[in-house]
Structure 1
Amino acid sequence: MSNALVLQSDFGLSDGAVSAMYGVAHTVDPSIPLFDLTHDIPPYNIWEGSYRLLQTVPYWPENTVFVSVVDPGVGSDRKSVVVKTGSNHFIVTPDNGTLTHIHHSIGIIEARIIDEQKNRLPKAGASHTFHGRDIYAYTGARLASHTISFEEVGPIYSIDSIILLPLFEASLSHGVLTGMIDILDIRFGNVWTNISRELFLDLGMQYGDSAEVLIENDNKKVYKNFMTYGRSFADLCIGEPLVYINSLDNLAIAINQGSFAEVYSIGTGSNWRISLRKAPKIIYE
């Protein structure tokens, strides 16, 4: 029985690109369980592609094969790889930074360069602009269907050679917690950070306490204000900002029934920093 094959790309669904990848997979084996992670990664946004893998991969059964195609360097000399993660999943992708979050948080235990002489869609022609169809979907389907083993993907690739995007580690110093904005909860405009719940609670925060929040982009202040630490959005009135713990057990901030990211033009990446400190309680006499 084939393992699940999960596709991610920045292709969108307005043309036939994703459907062509489906077709290639089903041509390899019509019984492959085929799913989408997302095809709405902003064009060329390798960072977001990297994070969406981390957000999703751990919740799938072991040996699931992921194909991730966010590939602004298609046709260049960048490597095409398949990696086995510390969680026993496989990821088929260009080696361009897409593996950053997986490498950092889950780990990669082995990597192989795709042998494109053996693992390229037959009769694909001379095109070098649709590797998502001709190499990644094809190789991913062959791996998921057990047509090839991981060892048959191609030669071993040094894990130390994998290209990684810069990250900024969260830390707590002198009562100030600092991290980066990892990603946006796109549909609702919430801001997700890389600050773990455990590190946040080291501030001594309790539900209902206030935190002073500072957001900077390349050291330029974008936002500074006080907000309440809430268990959920229902703890605050509509329109109020809050600090909360998101579904990945990390710190996030939001506006109840509003888009914090849109209101304050928030972005993502290691140059977007967030700092918090516990606000002192004011006692009126």
Structure 2
Amino acid sequence: MPDHRIPRGIINERVARTKFTLTRHPPAPALTPFVQYYWILRWDLRGQPPFEQRVLPNLSVHAVFFPGADGVYGPMHDVFSYRLEGRVHGLGVRFRPGCFRPFLRQPVRNITDRSIPLAEVFGPAAEATTESIRNVNGDHEMAGAADKLLTANPPVLPPAAARASETVETIAADPGITRVGQLCAATGLDVRSLQRLFAEHIGCTPKWAIRVYRLNDGARRISGTERPDYAGLAAQLGYSDQSHFTRDFRTVTGLSPGEYARAAREDREQPRT
């Protein structure tokens, strides 16, 4: 999957980088069919006001090991917000879209837009892993604790899950796919088969998956352009008109394209530290 099209979507990223550090690490080789990467966050806001970080929706399931926020988080349709305060470090596991079903042992649609306790998926060992991550500070040690948990009872990736993952990678690899019919043509699956595959293994509809990639692309271009051409951008992203793009953009980000651009401009104007 092209790295630049992995929807990460940290809103106001430059400001965010003054509040926390983020590093990404590969999982153990046996986990690469399932896990995209581990992400490790650290912040120290002691003596400072709390900071609310917002992240655009993506298609991944995340297993999160943070004080007060540990759990398995399904794919989201809304912007995710998290309040940072005090001094904290922790680790998250970003699973490849389509590849969490073998761990969950139920349709991924059942956890869309919600979270469940880690122990519901990983059993009693999840609590010990949370404690291990909390009590060490090195990235290598934290990643090792996650590796140990996930490889204790490694599942097999069934063909349907692999097909779901490949279908998402098809979307990621081709920005020209802006309609479900185009995805059908690219994969050889009909609409109903795609819908069943996505509900079972991705947790959303094919239409929403395509929209997430399109609008993450739009957000990235808006934030990197001094004077965005919204009508031109809408056309490039496959929208029939600017108003449709604006509605979709607000639905996903919570902001209009103009509001998002102003926030990005203010972000760029912040003094660097």
What TM-score results when the alignment is normalised by the length of structure 1? 0.29
Q: Which has the higher strand share?
A: 1
Q: Which has the higher helix share?
A: 2
